[in-house]
Amino acid sequence: MEGTSMSYGAVLAVRGVVKAFSAARVVMERSPHSVLAGEGATTFAVRNGIEAAETLTDDAKQQFEDWRRQHLEEEGSDHRGESHDTVGVICLDHDGNLCAGTSTSGWKFKHPGRVGDAPVVGSGLYCDSSVGAAVATGDGEEILRTCLSFAVVEFMRGGDSPQLACKKGIARLEETVKRSAAGRSVEEVNRMHDRLTVAVMAMNPKGDIGAASTLGPRNVHRGRPSFPLAIWRKGDPVRVVEETEIP
């Protein structure tokens, strides 16, 4: 999403193209559409110069076969584990133009056809150069129904810093999850909360950044109680910081 012209492009459920960001960008820049899915997305991307490539690695295939052997009889059950791997990027240029992008393989071993938050404008990403940009990662179903990235940008529009906006966005998402758990026992709701894995980061046109997540000592992801982000400003080396280090 490009936040000065408010243009947006996405590809969903694509096979045969590794560079999903580039494929989404050609949809945004060279098609009259915003979203292309499946075979049509791949065909359009390849026709527009995006390299065709095999996306299924031998390692992923082996993991899937092992998983299928173990879980064949439990179709439809939740085997998310620690499978998220969304990349979210926000860039700001010298003239104050912001853009944002997300790319993901989604939920590991999901039902065919499932689409997460990453390509959905307002959920996985939102960008308005006059206010700020936000990108999300983690449990897509929760991010989708909260419209998390849009909410964070709207908090900034209301005057919040990127950091406060991210915190408020995560608080809203946790509230949404609680409401969806109405009628369940306190223990069950706590268990749901302890498994919730969502992070969001944001930037405003001044270059101030923010980040927040649902993680904590009781809810670690890949062994970490917080979410890492990489920050690069022209002339400086890349810094990797934990979301909790952002003041």
Indicate which residues carry an active-site annotation. 86
Residue 3 known to bind ligand: no
145 annotated as ligand-binding: no
**Of 167, 159, 169, nearest to 132 (Cα)?**
159
Q: Say what angle helices 148-157 and 162-180 make with each other, to 10 degrees.
A: 140
In terms of CB distance, is 43 or 180 closer to ligand GLY? 180
Q: CB of 80: closest distance to ligand GLY in angstroms?
A: 9
Q: Is 115 annotated as a binding residue?
A: yes
56 CA to centre of own chain: 21
Q: How far is the CB of 233 from ligand GLY (least distance, A)?
A: 27
Q: Can you read off the two tokens belonging to residue 212?
A: 């927040």
Residue 95, annotated ligand binder? no
Interface residues toward ligand GLY, by CB under 6 A: 84, 86, 104, 106-107, 116-118, 137-138, 140
CA 242, 126, 132 angle in degrees (round to 5)?
70
If the CB atoms of residues 117 and 154 are measured against ligand GLY, the closer one turns out to be 117
Give the shortest CB-138-to-ligand GLY separation in angstroms.
6
The contacts of residue 203 (CB under 8 Å, 6+ apart) are 90, 92, 98, 132, 133, 162, 209, 210
Cα–Cα dist 137/117, whole Å: 8
Pick 134 or 160: Cβ nearer ligand GLY: 134
Annotated binding site for substrate: 114-117, 137-140
